[in-house]
Each structure stands twice: as structure tokens, then as C-alpha cells.
Structure 1
């Protein structure tokens, strides 16, 4: 009998009264992962399938719990020894959460042979396109992991990372979905532990409400310092999909943000946001 079957067979009378009371007060999401993405299955076209077949063995890390799973293998120790074995050197390591089509991370990899890079991406087409871009250039300082990012950071040993990048994460615009945004206090704590002292978490978004969310999570996060130099005005209340146009009428306050990170290439995604008139918000939080 599985754990699920055993639990399902329990009647209310079989559960102690005190425990039943606690159970009734728990959130419906209690004990469940709140993911920052929805897993979509997408068939690769011939070009991307060829790239996968040609380059996956070179670039794709085998750290998943099992085939088809986005869980990190139990017992994985992501430390300096793992980095040295995987990349073949002791160069500082930068991790990008949500590398998309790979435009940004591959450009950075090519420009910085003195750094190691790890791209985290869950969607097959994005992984395949990153493989294609990196493989065509013969880049050696990149690896890709198709895993749930927060799980990887829990496996990281203290100080193993130089930087973490999170550029244009899924905004989850509906108010009820804001809990799915990748920037969360628990992840901030795990990233802080993984970063070397003086390391940074760079974040960018073109969604004003997400910018407010980042400030709420990060400006008071233990062990981080907002090292931006720009002052921006943002609403102090959240809006969601359907009422975002009311943001201009809400109370505003000044917040500190950063100049555009010059290590981030102008991707097609960012170009579309600019063309739509959205303002880019950049953040730099240093591990203090």
C-alpha cells in the first residue's frame, strides 16, 4: 500500500482531534510545491532535436532524480569539488535562473571564458535552443540543468556561487498567482547561503508590480544589500491582471534600483517589452 492510499483510507475518527484541528486550518497548498512554472510538453522541431542529440551529452547535467523529473537527485552536493569536476577548473560560477532561449547566457559565456556558467531552464525547446547556440560556437564553460531551480539552491554548499541572475521571470500577473513568483523569501535565503561574500543576485523585470514584489522580498532580506544607485517611484499596493491600469492612481513611494546591467544582452524578449512601452527595472543585491 502506498502512503497516499494509506492516508486516503483514514477516516476523520482515526485522526486525533488536535491534529484534525490543525489540518483544517492549513492552506490547501500545505505540503505541496508551489512552482514558478507550468510544465508544458512541446515537441522539438527537427533542428532542435538534432541540437539535442548532438550536444546534450556535453552540456546537460545529469543531476535529476530520475528521467523526466525536474527534481534534483537526492544527496546531490553542489560544492567546489563538484564545480571543479564538472567544469574542469576553479573559475567563479554564475547561475542563471530561467535562461529561456539561451540568448543572454550564451552571449555571456562567449564573452567571459574566465567564468563558469550554469543555465537553469525547465522547457525542452529553451534547453534545445541553448544547446544549439552553445554547440555551434564550441563553448566549454557552460552547463545546463533542467531542474526546479529552488531545489538546486538547496543542494548548494555555502559560498559556491559568484553570482545568480534572474532576468524577466514569469510575472504571474493574477493576484492569486503571486505566490508562484520565483523571487521568494525562502529562495533568497538559499541563494544568500550559496553566494560567496560579495557575490550578487541580479534581477530584472519589465513588470511594475513585479518590481514592487522584488523590493518587498529583497530590500529587507537578511544578508543582502541593495547596491543600486537609481531612485524610482512605484505604487505601494499590488495590482493584478485586469486592474493594472489602476496602478497610477495608487499611493507611490521611492525605491532604489540599479542601472541596466551591461552584461545582459538585449534579447528579443526585452526588445518586445520596450516596444510595448514597458520600463525595465534592474536590481543588484550584494551578499553582505
Structure 2
């Protein structure tokens, strides 16, 4: 049985009501092994750790109409089955797939976790010379992105409701021009940091998917997540941090219960980027700024 609990974390670019039910998908338990064998395994061996939780949320009438009107045009049919967020077996996300989907060979930008779709749709409207793919797992976010794209009759955007790391594993080398990950779920509790979307394995898959010289743009308003990004990306193979700003950050991690101790921890200087002009100022970012949080921007170039 799935466990239903209440969840109040903020997902990518979208707030969740504290009373909204969250369905945690059952995860296959780790097989029993001897101590000597288990010691040689990665800490999460046998488990599929997701950067999100499945939410059972109904669409209101407006979003349901948008889904019905625009899903056939914009929503890619690449999931393993109805209701699944797994990418179907055998999918090859290559240049031919891009050409057949967008009917051209223009550079493709993928945004991981588009939330309500404000940023990716605005970018698609401003840059008809580029192609865009929005990755989002939550039904309301997908529906709202469909609504925004459909109202503007955009031809250069598609949406995929799948688990992003699985899609990147299906990508051919050099098929993407840029990848964007703006304000991902911070997973503030220390025990949940392993769920953060920016991870070494995903970095390797993103690097393979990017064309040489392509970039992965990341932004967060959580100081501890900024440290996490630096730890994963600054020394990641095939990437160069091209930031031009010097930012001081704690060198130790804090969690949801002790974040107020960060100022007293040892600090070090890190390189980050100026704000990406191609990112619109969404309501989510406005709320972070109003709360006094600092926005951390990162640009990692594929080399």
C-alpha cells in the first residue's frame, strides 16, 4: 500500500498547500546481504531515490480544459504507461527524435522542473529560433504549462511528464544546447539531501547530452543547496564553472532544524554567476527575494 501523508515542502517553482495529500510510491526494499557485501555497495544500493513525491491532485475546470485542448499538441508520449513517470523502454532521444518532434534542427533547451511553466513558456515565446522541452512531474504544473503555451499558439515547445534523470539517460551525446534547473526542491532536512536533483550521476548524463560548449544553468535561493551544487559540480568531469562572482558560503551543511547556525560555521569563497537574463522573475522568485533570501546562479559549461 502507498502511504498518504501531508507534505509542506516547496516543489520546483510551485508552492504546495499544507493540506494537500502526498502519495509516496512504494519502493522495492533493499535485498538482505552479508555485512562484507553490503560494505562494498553504494549507500542507496537497491533503491530508486526520487527528487519528488507523487501528489494526488485534481485539476480544476480551467486546467482540465487546458489539458483536454492542448495535450495532444504539446505533451510528448514517452512515458512507460498511463500514470507512469518512467521513460518507456527503448526510447532514444537523439537528433532524429528531436527533428521529428519539432520539425526542425534548431538548438534544444531542456528545463528540469518547470513548475507552472512561466519561465520556459516566456523563453519559448521570446526565442522562436530555439526549441524548448519542459520537464515536470505534477499534473497542475503540466496543465498550466499547456495553458500558457496553447494560449500563445507556440510551435517551439513540448512538455514531458517523466522523471528527468531517466530522460537524460536516454539522450544521445550532444543532442542538447542547454539544460536549466531553476529553484529545485531544496529538500531541507539533512536526511533528505540525497533526494536533491543535482547529483553526480545526473551531472554525468547531462554532460553527455550537452553539445560541447553547451551549459547547465542552475539557480537556487537556498544557501545550503548552493553549497551542494558547488560540491557536485565544481569538480565534475567535463564541466567548467564560468561564474564571475565571488560568493562566501559555509563549508559545512545544515538542515531544516539548524539552518540558523550557518552564519557561525567556517566559510570559503566560491565562484557563481550573475543573474541569467533569460530567466523571468516568477512569483516564486519574488517571494524568495521578499523573504530576504539571496539568489545563487550557476553556469557550468560543457568542455
**Within-5 A mapping of 1:71-86:** 71-86=86-101
Given the alignment, which residue of 221, 224, 246 partners 1:206?
A: 221
Q: Secondary structure at the match of 2:227?
A: helix
Structure-1 residue corresponding to 2:54: 39
Structure-2 residue corresponding to 1:275: 290
Q: Matches of 1:27 and 1:219 in 2, distance apart?
A: 22
Tell me how large the CA RMSD over aligned residues is. Answer: 1.6
Structure-2 residue corresponding to 1:168: 183
Please state how far the C-alpha of 1:21 moved relative to its aligned partner: 3.8
**Does residue 1:116 correspond to 2:111, yes or no?**
no
Given the alignment, which residue of 255, 258, 261 partners 1:240?
A: 255
Please state how far the C-alpha of 1:242 moved relative to its aligned partner: 1.1
Write out per-residue CA displacement over residues 233-253 of structure 1, whole angstroms, 9 at most, x where no aligned residue. 000000000100000000000
Q: Secondary structure at the match of 2:55?
A: coil
Q: State the TM-score, normalized to the length of structure 2.
A: 0.88
Write out per-residue CA displacement over residues 195-251 of structure 1, whole angstroms, 9 at most, x where no aligned residue. 000000000000000000000000000000000000000000000001000000000
Structure-1 residue corresponding to 2:34: 20
Please state how far the C-alpha of 1:35 moved relative to its aligned partner: 0.2
Unaligned runs of 5+ in 1: 1-6, 13-18
Structure-1 residue corresponding to 2:281: 266
Q: Matches of 1:270 and 1:162 in 2, distance apart?
A: 25
**Within-5 A mapping of 1:4-19:** none
Q: Matches of 1:137 and 1:93 in 2, distance apart?
A: 19
Structure-1 residue corresponding to 2:64: 49
Q: Matches of 2:290 and 2:37 in 1, distance apart?
A: 49
Structure-2 residue corresponding to 1:134: 149
Q: Matches of 2:174 and 2:38 in 1, distance apart?
A: 40
Please state how far the C-alpha of 1:22 moved relative to its aligned partner: 4.6
Q: State the TM-score, normalized to the length of structure 1.
A: 0.92
Q: Secondary structure at the match of 1:52?
A: helix
Given the alignment, which residue of 265, 268, 273 partners 1:253?
A: 268
Please state how far the C-alpha of 1:29 moved relative to its aligned partner: 3.8
Structure-2 residue corresponding to 1:287: 302
Say how many residue pairs are matched: 274
**Does residue 1:231 correspond to 2:246, yes or no?**
yes
Please state how far the C-alpha of 1:27 moved relative to its aligned partner: 6.8
Please state how far the C-alpha of 1:30 moved relative to its aligned partner: 2.0
